[in-house]
Amino acid sequence: MTKNIGSTERVIRGLVGVALILAFFLNSDGQYSWLYLLGIIPLGTAFVGWCPPYALLGINTCKTGK
């Protein structure tokens, strides 16, 4: 697995993931509050540095030393 997510995007994905998971715990009375748990996806991709849809589409935002 080659990294395909740049550092700036990793930070943004991490913040979005944490915000969504935090919103789940702060707003757990709604019928669709479980959707906030989808924040696990951007948090996981930020942690690993690899995004499967980016790999399928050939997108790479990671800066290389070329």
Q: Which pLDDT value is given to residue 66?
A: 47
Number of domains the chain contains: 1
Q: Does residue 66 fall inside a structural domain?
A: no
Q: Which pLDDT value is given to residue 54?
A: 94
Taking phi over 0 as left and psi of -120 to 50 as alpha, with beta for the rest, 14 belongs to alpha
CB atoms within 10 A of CB 20: 18
The burial class, CB within 10 Å (0-12 / 13-18 / 19+), for 18 is middle
The range of the structural domain enclosing residue 20 comes to 7-57
pTM: 0.85
CA atoms within 13 A on the CB side of 64: 6
Q: Which pLDDT value is given to residue 49?
A: 94
Q: Does residue 1 fall inside a structural domain?
A: no
Helix locations, 1-66, DSSP H: 7-26, 40-48, 52-57
Q: Does residue 62 fall inside a structural domain?
A: no
Q: Which pLDDT value is given to residue 38?
A: 95
Q: What is the pLDDT along the chain (66 residues), one digit of tens a residue?
A: 889 999 999 999 999 999 999 999 998 788 888 899 999 999 999 999 999 999 999 999 988 744
Q: Which pLDDT value is given to residue 31?
A: 86
